[in-house]
Structure 1
Amino acid sequence: MLVVTRLRTPSGPGGPDPAAEAELRRGLLHALEILASKPGHVGGEVGRNVDDPTLWVLTTRWENVGSYRRALGSYEGKMHIQPLMVHAVDEPSAYEVVEEGTDLNESQPRSLG
């Protein structure tokens, strides 16, 4: 599975805040370190948008959705990663990898509700 989380640098009254940008960058690199140490992690990167430098991305790959959710729900995930999510763009972030000849999940809501 693939997880793509986009985050926006906080800005102050005068525009982008360089200190906030540096803090977000450090936080994302630390988040990637934490996630990389968890079972089921396959790979990942931190990136910054070339056209809009206030937009960042944390991309990780996992063996399955359970591995990702357990990593995010770990003590380190709750303490160091979840606080970064206040800067995340509100959009779905978990994707299944599409390969020739494989079945995709059924297109239906996953809640029981």
Structure 2
Amino acid sequence: MSEPVTAGPAGWINLPDVSEKLGVSISKVHQMIREGALLAVRRDGIRLVPAELVANDTVLKHLPGVLNLLHDAGYNDEEALKWLYEPDEALGGNAAIGLGGQQAREVKRRAQAVGF
């Protein structure tokens, strides 16, 4: 029997690079994280953002709303990360991928259901 594939981002971006990619100050990036508009987790003591969440030089449109729903349901950032990257072929691979495409509405619906 094969082991389940561990879900996770395809790549990571450190906060200074996120700042440069989005064209905002590093303090603005920290503010976005504090306000739940962007997800960052610590890896080896460094705060990193999943690369897919800052596609095309912007934060995915529906990410702040989904993060808000998950945080309201009691998820911390690590748990939200796990939820976003849990394998789900119906969403194109996982919820993070679904947020960037035609499945965004379904991702939001599922995030709402987590709280109930």
TM-score, normalisation: structure 1: 0.25
Larger helix fraction of residues:
2
Which structure's CA Rg is the greater one?
1
Larger strand fraction of residues:
1
Structure with higher RCO (Cα < 8 A, 6+ apart): 1
